[in-house]
Homo-oligomer: A and B are copies of this chain.
């Protein structure tokens, strides 16, 4: 009998040990992600939902990430605050949306006349960009990762053609952020308008021009009916979205699930870049055929040069606002100097002969 109890004791210990190990393995981690986007803001919202789906599938259901659209949490531009404060474990948004709260976060989305998508990914992953982004976000107790690139954004829709610098003087344009400051320096009356009101504002003649994203996202908006001059891009050559994660929450996950999260974010970011490339190609093909009144333009050289000059001056002012910001801007600039030489020799010269 003693032997029997002894055996039972061993079994029980074993049972408890195994059960613990099973629990640790099988524990389901539920996370909530707040996004800036509405449910039909393709492809931006897709990067977030794909990430959540991949994490759940790869972890065999041990990770469950609920993705909330802005309709749910009502704070589309407050993602950093919510992740920082712990109301949400994760976020998907664009870093430059909270430049008003922390100016250092501005350059991780895109800068005028800056890096293209492959150059920017190379800077993030091999040129020190990830380390700098973490330096900026760590003071908020938040981890930040690339969340998908739109590639080159178009320069916007204009009611009339821009032939000289004078045509910009007094022009009423919706163009937010740092690019707006550049335009303001050239005499443009810059305004910011919520996305939902863009079309009516243009229709009612309250503005003369606006920028949004590119063919895939612009086509639904109908801007071309009123402002048919469609300018090529200069101000957001590769807008990168960001995943944010509350650092404490992330640190509580087991190592394997941390890696599942990191890889799911990384692949969803790249995938969004490619998805948007395809969507843009399809949308532009359709637009071109169905809307022959659209006129593609690039800004004349004197206008472009004035924009570049204003950009350079404003970058110096920007760098003076914070030493970390200056470090990021300098790092991007130095990297671009090298990378652009290669882009020219590879992609640019190949394309030049194959258009």
Chain A residues with CB under 8 Å of chain B are 4, 7-8, 11-12, 14-15, 18-19, 21-22, 25, 54, 57-60, 113, 116-119, 121-122, 125-127, 151-152, 154, 214-215, 232-234, 237, 254-256, 259-260, 263-264, 266-267, 270-271, 273-275, 277-278, 280-282, 284-285, 288, 296, 298, 304, 338-355
Contact = CB atoms under 8 A, between A and B. Distances in A.
B233 A281 contact: no
A243 to B, nearest CB: 14
Given A59-B256, A60-B256, A237-B350, 19 more contacts: A7-B8, A11-B12, A15-B15, A57-B255, A113-B354, A121-B274, A122-B281, A151-B347, A152-B346, A154-B346, A263-B263, A263-B264, A266-B271, A270-B270, A278-B339, A281-B339, A298-B349, A344-B351, A351-B351
A346 B284 CA distance: 11
28 contacts: A14-B15, A18-B18, A25-B25, A54-B259, A58-B58, A58-B260, A60-B254, A60-B255, A116-B347, A116-B351, A122-B278, A126-B278, A151-B346, A151-B347, A152-B346, A154-B346, A232-B345, A232-B350, A234-B353, A260-B260, A270-B270, A277-B339, A280-B342, A280-B346, A285-B341, A296-B345, A343-B351, A351-B351
Contacts of A232: 345-346, 349-350
A287 B266 CA distance: 31
B342 A215 contact: yes
Contacts of A345: 154, 232, 284, 296
Given A15-B14, A117-B118, A274 B350 contact: no
Nearest to A21: B22
B256 A58 contact: yes
Contact of A267 (B263, B282, B349, B354): B263
A127 B354 contact: no
Nearest to A266: B267
A126 B267 contact: no
Can you list the 3 inter-chain pairs with the closest CB atoms, starting with the nearest? A60-B256, A152-B346, A126-B278
Contacts of A280: 342, 346
Contacts of A255: 57, 60
B118 A151 contact: yes
Contacts of A259: 54, 57-58
Contacts of A12: 11
Identify which of A113, A121, A215 gathers the most chain B CB atoms within 10 Å of its CB.
A121
A119 B348 contact: no
